[in-house]
Amino acid sequence: MADSFGFSTRLIRESVAVDKQTGAANVPVYLSSTFHQKSFDQFGKYDYSRSGNPTREVLEQAIARLEGGVRGFAFASGMAAISTAFLLLSSGDHAVVPKNVYGGTFRILTQVLGRLGIEHTFVNMTDLDEVERAIRPNTKVIYIETPSNPTFRITDIHAISQIARTHRCYTFADNTFMSPVFQRPLALGADLVLHSATKFISGHSDVVAGLAVAGGEELAEKMYFLQNALGAVLGVQDAWLLLRGLKTLDVRIRRSAASARKIAGFLAEQPEVRHVYYPGLPDHPGHAVQARQSESGGAVLSFDLGNEAGARLFVDRVEIPVFAVSLGAVESILSYPPRMSHAELSPDEQKDAGISSGLLRLSVGLEDSEDLICDLRRGLSAVRESKNGAVRSGESCGRLS
């Protein structure tokens, strides 16, 4: 019944959760680590908050329904969710992973899971033949992240899930960049969806959190066991904040994505910009696949200013974006992937993943898009002046001048 509602209605219905006892419009923050049991023989639904907490449960049910899965899990960070998911594998198992995977996922694969005997092969996930060739008899997971970060390569979720199914392995999909508003990997054949909920789902740069949703009961059981066994659960107050974030997710990400599309078009026309990476642009190599599997190109884009010096000048000159790691917030966030999100990769690995020294990533926030474009224009003028040896121009942007 609920599924007949539009997605924005479902977001509100899932996250409001009127309290049955008091009628409060929001689920209470159940700050309790333990729960009284009725009698020696009669144990209630909750016993200890690592195993289950009523506030966290509302969030877990909400994300499960919104992603179209059977069960959701809330973790202390995106990496806690991803690490727990990889620990479904055992020593001697193998995972196929995109070479431009998020730096933290790269780190856990190369520096932790390898030590435990869990093997991996990095591939270009957009090349389905290469993915097939990387699969071994012990492959248990094909891990995807689409769009990938920071060069926005698009993986065909349905095609990869089909390959995984043929080889009897799982598909895990990191859906951080799109959120369930734009993309729902389980419906395209994936088995497990992962989120750094620190990003769009929280939306305000005030929570570090992770979410996972299992598409089937068997995987859900295994994930629940591991969530409880490893214990990297999300704190109750942060679970409540994520529920609040969910309520505005639809409007926030749509507004940011509309601005990102405008900004990508603007940057693509600027002579100082060597390349714009944004799957919403028609000349992006993954545009057709993106349009088939997602509702939008998203709210994050990258652009190449040619070299580190240009990137530095640009970052020094702009005034609106916060210069920081992370993305998906109400404020625009500018970052320099070679030294920030992807610092874990060696220079050769960065080159292989298409991360050039002039690359900047912009997560577009909720500021006025015209103000943002004006500010970016100002950043580009710094790059231009350095090339021409010109004096700084006195360009002004609305309120900032």
| Catalytic residue positions, numbered | 50, 102, 174, 199
Q: Does 238 bind ligand PLP (CB under 6 A)?
A: no
Interactions with ligand PLP, residue window 134-163 (CB under 6 A): 145, 149
Query: Minimum distance from CB of 206 to ligand PLP (Å)?
Result: 13
Q: How far apart are CA 12 and CA 10, in angstroms?
A: 5
Query: Minimum distance from CB of 363 to ligand PLP (Å)?
Result: 10
Site string for ligand PLP, 82-121 (x = CB under 6 A): --------------------x-x-----------------
Query: Minimum distance from CB of 101 to ligand PLP (Å)?
Result: 8
Residues 248, 250, 252, 253, CA torsion sign: positive
For helices 7-16 and 54-67, angle between their N-to-C axes, nearest 10 degrees? 170
**Is residue 384 within a helix (H) or strand (E), and if so which, with residue range?**
helix 369-388
Q: Does 15 bind ligand PLP (CB under 6 A)?
A: no
How many chain residues are in contact with ligand PLP, going by CB under 6 A? 14
Residue 338 main-chain phi, psi, to 5 deg: -60, -30
Q: Is the peptide bond before 150 cis (omega within 30 degrees of 0)?
A: yes
The DSSP string of 297-323 is --SEEEEE-SSHHHHHHHHHH--SSEE
Query: Minimum distance from CB of 210 to ligand PLP (Å)?
Result: 5
In terms of CB distance, is 53 or 341 closer to ligand PLP? 341
Interactions with ligand PLP, residue window 165-224 (CB under 6 A): 174, 176, 196, 198, 208, 210
SS3 108: helix
- Identified binder of ligand PLP from the candidate list 15, 77, 296, 381, rule CB under 6 A: 77
Interactions with ligand PLP, residue window 302-361 (CB under 6 A): 341
In terms of CB distance, is 80 or 219 closer to ligand PLP? 80
Q: Which structure tokens are listed for 369?
A: 């898009």
Cβ(283)–Cβ(275) under 8 Å?
A: no
Which spans in 35-137 are helix H?
A: 54-67, 78-86, 103-107, 128-134
Q: How far apart are CA 313 and CA 226, in angstroms?
A: 46
Query: Minimum distance from CB of 96 to ligand PLP (Å)?
Result: 17
Q: Which residues bind ligand PLP (CB under 6 A)?
A: 77-79, 102, 104, 145, 149, 174, 176, 196, 198, 208, 210, 341
